[in-house]
Amino acid sequence: MNCRHCQSPLEHVFLDLGFAPPSNAYLTESDLKAPETYFPLKLFVCDDCWLVQTEDYARANELFRPDYAYFSSISHTWLAHAKAYAEMVSKRFDLGRNSLVIEVASNDGYLLRNFVETGIPCLGIEPTASTANAAERLGIPVLREFFGEALAKRLAAEGKQADLIAGNNVYAHVPDINDFTIGLKAALKPHGTITLEFPHLMRLIEHVQFDTVYHEHFSYLSLQTVARIFARAGLRVWHVEELSTHGGSIRIYGCHAEDQRADEPSVAKLLEEEARFGLQDLSTYGAFQARADHVKNGLLAFLLEQKQQGKKVAAYGAAAKGNTLLNYAGVKPDLLPYVCDAAPSKQGKFLPGSHIPILQTDALRQNRPDVVLVLPWNIVDEVTEQHAYVREWGAAFAAAVPSMKVC
């Protein structure tokens, strides 16, 4: 296998999580009687451009199916984040009724609804029918296609170049990152702006966030690698912001390479921090597997201890990151009998691989567990606040990443 960006041969394994089903391939009861598809889940690091990437096995259309179950609007924290972003960019880039905002991977309209409310024209690009339907019910026009150079050139030919192109947690999901980036350039007006948000590879390594590794994430990104990919496509990163979302993300601001805007100091500052951290040093990547195994072993030891003590454990949040963690650890319903989730699209189904049933959130009140294991640790504060009532019967919350913690 060669690097998806620079085509250099890939020789260095960053992380090997064995075999796993796609993390968002939730199962119905009838699915439990049929064979389940597993793919190798292994990451390589390119020692030329330093792009971290999955081994090529799964195709995008096998992962992002019409019944895709991830709806962004389920998280109130994420909705607030999107609203604040929309208000900020509308003011910063003077967006109005003569502007066009394009969001790639617009999901259920969690972001573009804010532009619809203020009368700013927008267009969502979203290949999964389940989420696109939800967005259209909010009055958001949606193209149900995968984004890339061909679609972008078609939009440009139709006079639909954007003043702002937004992409939140999509850049890591595209199998052909060069084609996608060339598409960004083709769909952008001469003085337009691109903003992309994605989990920061440096924070993934720092906080042992190996559970954010799954097949839908083809790439794991640093600023220096993204700047290089942008430059090859004729784009330039001129500003970057560090965010707390998803355990530590960055938002990059891009423009055409020839744009008159100067690079802001934030870019050089973060590039220097990445270099000091060791993102261009193979030893940084070589040490990660043992740290991930330590987290996995800590979770197993905790669950076994609770079972031996006769305590009841429930999980909260049927998130993709939880599926990676549970499948790598080999956790089944004997150690974790159910997981609660607020998304109706997941309730009544089963987690892929582990086959743990997904229940409505009121199961916590009915079953009164002793411990609630929060799988999406990035929203642990939101979960503990919303479900603080479990403390009435003496229950505690727990999270496994970056290390086993009970609170």
Per-residue pLDDT tens over the stretch 130-187: 899 999 999 999 999 999 999 999 999 999 999 999 999 999 999 999 999 999 999 9
Averaged pLDDT for residues 319-337: 97
Range of the domain at 365: 289-406
Q: Is residue 24 part of a domain?
A: no
Residues 293 and 280 occupy one common structural domain? no
Per the listing, tokens 């965010």 go with 243
pLDDT tens profile 350-404: 999 999 999 999 999 999 999 999 999 989 999 999 999 999 999 999 999 999 9
Domain count, the chain: 2
pLDDT of residue 299: 98
pLDDT of residue 24: 86
Mean pLDDT of the chain: 94
Distance CA 177, CA 400 (A): 31
Averaged pLDDT for residues 211-223: 95
pLDDT of residue 228 exceeding 90: yes
What Å distances lie between residue 205 and 14, 52, 247, CA to CA?
A: 10, 11, 11
Residues 276 and 326 occupy one common structural domain? no
Indicate the pTM of the whole model. 0.91
- CB-side neighbour CA atoms (13 Å) of 187: 29
Q: Is residue 101 part of a domain?
A: yes
Boundary residue ending a domain (240, 258, 285): 285
Distance CA 233, CA 251 (A): 19
Confidence of residue 59 (pLDDT cuts 50, 70, 90): low
Residues 319 and 277 occupy one common structural domain? no
Would you put residue 146 in left (φ > 0), alpha (ψ -120 to 50) or beta?
beta
Q: Is residue 396 part of a domain?
A: yes
Residues 296 and 313 occupy one common structural domain? yes
Q: Are 404 and 381 in contact (CB under 8 A)?
A: no
Residues 171 and 216 occupy one common structural domain? yes
pLDDT of residue 63 exceeding 70: no
Q: Are 59 and 215 in contact (CB under 8 A)?
A: no
pLDDT of residue 166: 98
Residues 227 and 112 occupy one common structural domain? yes
Among 49-58, 103-112, 178-187, 291-300, name the one with the lowest average pLDDT.
Answer: 49-58
Q: Are 15 and 289 in contact (CB under 8 A)?
A: yes
Q: Which residues pair with 186 in a beta bridge?
A: none
pLDDT tens profile 260-297: 999 999 999 999 999 999 999 999 999 999 999 999 99
pLDDT of residue 62: 54
Confidence of residue 77 (pLDDT cuts 50, 70, 90): confident
Percent of the chain with pLDDT over 70: 96
SS3 of residue 371 by DSSP: strand
Boundary residue ending a domain (226, 253, 285): 285
Per the listing, tokens 């998803």 go with 246
pLDDT of residue 56: 74
pLDDT of residue 304: 98
Q: Is residue 398 part of a domain?
A: yes
> CA 374, 375, 377, 378: dihedral to nearest 10 degrees?
-120
Boundary residue ending a domain (285, 317, 349): 285
Residues 382 and 324 occupy one common structural domain? yes
Percent of the chain with pLDDT over 90: 90
Confidence of residue 66 (pLDDT cuts 50, 70, 90): low
Q: Are 216 and 23 in contact (CB under 8 A)?
A: yes
Q: Are 77 and 379 in contact (CB under 8 A)?
A: yes
pLDDT of residue 134: 93
Distance CA 123, CA 154 (A): 14
pLDDT of residue 76: 84
Q: 70-105 burial by CB neighbour count: b if 16+ within 10 A, else e? A: bbbbbbeebbebbeebbeebbeebebeeebbbbbbb
Averaged pLDDT for residues 323-328: 97
